[in-house]
Amino acid sequence: TEGFFKDFLQDETSGDLRQVAGHECGSVTELVADALGINHQVNTVSTACSSSANAIMYAARLIKHNMLDVAIAGGADALTRFTLNGFNTLMILDREPCQPFDENRRGLNLGEGAGYLVLVSEKIKQTLAHQPYARLSGYYNANDAYHQTASSPEGTGAYLSMQGALKSAGLHPQDISYINLHGTGTSNNDQSEGVAIQRLFNPDFPLMSSTKSYTGHTLGASGGIEAVFSVMALKHRVVYPNLRLETPMAGFDFKPQTEFLKDQPVSHVLSNSFGFGGNNVSLVFSKP
């Protein structure tokens, strides 16, 4: 779209209209579905940075209620001038590599990418030649509606989504082996998520880290990408480090992991995805 308008604004008779065809937020979904010959159930969820986590939760619910046997769920997002300028206006971009959950964090880095999972019903699972990598054991969405672009200082939405996901999975806080933090590196997000984690997990905190220190914040794709990180943590029994963490945030009794850990007893992973408008999603992945 930006490529089209560059030419169009100079001359209203120029510009390739085919560039505009992919502007609508569901266009990626349609392209993937067409390429794979899927025409039964095709939906796009657009809830900012929790979009693909919501898509995964939605797919799981369709399977649970016997509406589908197989679903491909996740998300994609592309880096654009529109996005970059929007976040720059909010003054939450870090011009250096981001430092999620560091006391001296300055903001987020933007990234782009895609991440998808294939979810199957129990019936389909029995027919597979190989054991699934993981089981999506719990999920929950909670909206605190605190502010259009900020999380509540009390971490209300984050707390409710994590608590709800644990209840959905039939687990207790002490059962979680690793948390893939939303961890954007902004002052507001990390403080709010930290308050919620302190409230829910104190005093037995699991290992945790923000993989956005690797990828940047991939926005609508982040829930899908971090779901893949979570599944890989279970499959390979690893915990990822929180890069560039120098000074843990003050006022909390926990700090993210700073070293890559192998051969860990990873049984349940909690993955957080929190979007603008207070749309918070937590997913729990467990060993199959």
Which residues are tagged catalytic?
49, 182, 217
Distance CA 60, CA 55 (A): 9
Query: Distance (Å, rounded) from C-alpha 275 to C-alpha 148?
Result: 9
Give the pair of three-digit tokens for residue 263: 């051969």
Q: Which of 206, 123, 218 is nearest to 162 (CA)?
A: 206
What residues have CB less than 8 Å from 15, skipping those under 6 apart? Answer: 4, 5, 7, 8
- Sheet-wide strand order for 268-275: 135-143, 279-286, 268-275, 178-180, 207-209
Closest CA to 274 of 128, 174, 155, 166: 155
Name the residue among 154, 186, 153, 180 with its Cα closest to residue 165: 180
The DSSP code for 49 is G
If one counts every other C-beta atom within 10 angstroms of the C-beta of residue 88, the result is: 12
The answer to whether residues 26 and 44 touch, using CB atoms and an 8 Å cutoff, is yes
Please give the Cα distance from 243 to 209 (Å, whole number): 9
Structure tokens, 239: 């915990």
The Cα 26–Cα 34 span in angstroms is 12
- Which pair of tokens denotes residue 114? 């895609």
